[in-house]
């Protein structure tokens, strides 16, 4: 297994060597983003898993930064449970992300990384979603209506991908907020942030007659994306 390490120490490096795992260390978060990016020449990733040690508050954004730049390999996070509260764990949680406590020890961390890679390989995670006349490329984060590109902001795209992956399912506003913004307790109850981005997304989708999608507000819960034909028959 080829592991990308960010902010890990010598103990983890020695463990990887003893377990005959290949470890490449990133110099900083920008270097990690560059190393972990998809190789567009052959459509593959160089690494099987990324291991990030969040040792202090200056590094809390590292997992989110990796995910937001389109990295789609499993991300294993080592953190101090006493230093970071439960909402931070929820904020870090993304598809393919596994959380590990710092007092679990590196042996458990490495085993968790290996298990996450197995689970990731078994999971069906298409690079392209097709829903209601839209084609959504989850790697390049491009959206097409027929062959025409649909221009969306970063937050509008994230809202669309979140809802499309959970089509016909109610998505809680709080969950959407955390995935969109990742700001934590300070603004976790601010439903208006999600409302603004969803409203703008609705407006843009409404310009295309061939897009057969509806985003319904579910009072007191959140939002649900459905295809219009399914809405008529529900």
pLDDT tens per residue across span 170-192:
888 888 887 776 544 434 456 68
Answer yes or no: do 143 and 208 share one domain: yes
Q: Are 143 and 197 in contact (CB under 8 A)?
A: no
Domain closes at, from 98, 122, 146? 122
% of the chain surpassing 90 pLDDT: 14
Domain closes at, from 97, 122, 147? 122
pLDDT tens per residue across span 96-147:
566 666 656 667 767 676 666 656 555 545 567 888 888 888 767 789 888 7
Answer yes or no: do 106 and 133 share one domain: no
Angle at alpha carbon of residue 171, lines to 166 and 173, rounded to 5°: 145
* pTM, entire model: 0.54
Q: Containing domain of residue 62, as a range? A: 2-122
Residues linked to residue 2 through DSSP beta bridges, in sequence order = 22
CATH number at residue 136: 1.10.10.10
State the residue for tokens 């669309």.
160
What's the number of domains the chain is made of?
Answer: 2
Answer yes or no: do 101 and 153 share one domain: no
The one-character DSSP state at 39 is B
Residue 213 pLDDT grade (very low, low, confident, very high; cuts 50, 70, 90): confident
Domain closes at, from 122, 153, 187? 122
CATH number at residue 110: 3.40.50.2300
């Amino acid at each position: 297994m080829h592991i990308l390490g960010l902010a890990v120490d010598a103990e983890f490096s020695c463990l990887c060597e003893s377990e005959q795992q290949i470890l490449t260390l990133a110099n900083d978060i920008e270097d990690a983003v560059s190393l972990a990016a998809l190789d567009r020449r052959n459509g593959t990733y160089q690494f099987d898993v990324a291991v990030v040690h969040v040792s202090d508050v200056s590094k809390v954004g590292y997992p989110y930064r990796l995910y937001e730049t389109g990295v789609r390999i499993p991300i294993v996070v080592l953190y101090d449970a006493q230093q970071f509260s439960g909402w931070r764990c929820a904020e870090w949680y993304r598809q393919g992300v596994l959380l590990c406590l710092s007092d679990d020890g590196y042996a458990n961390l490495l085993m968790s990384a290996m298990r996450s890679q197995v689970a990731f390989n078994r999971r069906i995670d298409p690079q392209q979603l097709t829903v209601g006349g839209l084609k959504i490329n989850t790697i390049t984060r491009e959206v097409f209506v027929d062959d025409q590109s649909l221009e969306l902001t970063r937050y509008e795209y994230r809202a669309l991908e979140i809802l499309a992956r959970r089509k016909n399912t109610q998505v809680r506003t709080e969950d959407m907020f955390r995935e969109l913004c990742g700001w934590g307790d300070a603004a976790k109850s601010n439903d208006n942030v999600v409302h603004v981005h969803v409203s703008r997304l609705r407006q843009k989708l409404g310009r295309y007659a061939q897009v057969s999608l509806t985003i319904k507000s579910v009072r007191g819960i959140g939002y649900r994306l459905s295809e219009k034909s399914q809405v008529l028959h529900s």
